[in-house]
Amino acid sequence: MLNLAIEIENLTCDFETVRALDKLTLEVQPGIVFGFLGPNGAGKTTTIRMLLGLLQPTSGRARVLGYDTQSQAAEIRACTGALLEHHGLYEQMNAYDNLEFYGRVNRMPTSERQARIQELLTQMGLWERRAEATKKWSRGMKQKLALARVLLHRPALVLLDEPTAGLDVPSANSVRNDLEALVASEGTTVFLTTHNMAEAERLCSQIAVIKDGQLQAIGHPDELRARSGSAQLEIIGSGFIEPVLEALRARPEVMAVQAQNGHLKINLSAQADSAELVSLLVSQGAKVREARHQSASLEEVFLTLVEETR
């Protein structure tokens, strides 16, 4: 069994005076959705192109499914699927013929190819419209067909660069549902870039955050939230007058306090005891109807990681 789907060691890529990737090192376990997050220009797309052997590193090394990206790029592209900035569809052709073409390119036997096309189009909800030219389709439908194209030859690894970018909410959610179901049923490893934190939190069991070509953090979403060292206590009630707020601000575990229209939001250190703070409020004369303790969201963690060195 393959130990690692992706292994990157000190990978560096320079474009003249710009360092797009700076000694990146990380590992991706097989059979998971791995989120690769970062702001625009962080080096995400550059990394994907290097993993596919489309760009050569300035220094460092990477292996994909056991193959070296510099000397075995053809082998890597044969056993992976990639959806980058373009969907790769021939819009004058219908949905079925698009997949038929790509199945032939990948030298899939006729019976296997036909069965797989029907399977994917059915799972994507596109089978009834297989004979339509894709130029008539919405962007969401094209993206679903592009995902089917990527998965057609049952690749062990799929690299997806912002697959739901620009889609409306129902279309994006539908693509996520399809991706989630297909990964679960086929055990494919997915290397996913996205700017949508809810999407990353829902799909990814491991996340790496990159900024200016450098790795900032890596771990399960829960681990990243825990490392942020912050949480929030939201309280609904009344009596949140200034002396009460001052008593809260005097506590060392309280980082910030905001009160508005019967809602009190308290930013806390991760080690704070919410029950003690609620008791303090009551002792100061405030009335508490509801209290909710929340860990930092993945979006908050991400913003902290990419902004803290600015």
The upper half-sphere exposure of residue 121, i.e. CA atoms within 13 Å in the direction of its Cβ, equals: 20
Q: What digits encode the pLDDT tens for the residues 190-225?
A: 999 999 888 998 999 999 999 999 999 999 988 887
- Residue 223 pLDDT: 83
Q: Outline where 190-297 has alpha helix (H).
A: 197-203, 221-227, 242-249, 274-283
Q: For residues 3 and 11, give the distance between their C-alpha atoms in angstroms, rounded to a whole number.
A: 20
Q: How far is CA 6 from CA 14, 26, 83, 210, in A?
A: 21, 8, 17, 16
HEC profile for 131-175?
CCEHHHCCHHHHHHHHHHHHHCCCCCEEEEECCCCCCCHHHHHHH
Q: Which of 237, 205, 229 is nearest to 218 (CA)?
A: 205
Residue 64 main-chain phi, psi, to 5 deg: -125, 120
Q: What digits encode the pLDDT tens for the residues 84-132?
A: 888 899 999 999 999 999 999 999 999 999 999 999 999 888 999 999 9
Q: For residues 259 and 281, give the distance between their C-alpha atoms in angstroms, rounded to a whole number.
A: 13
Q: How far is CA 82 from CA 45, 177, 275, in A?
A: 11, 18, 49
Residue in the structure block whose two tokens are 């949508």: 196
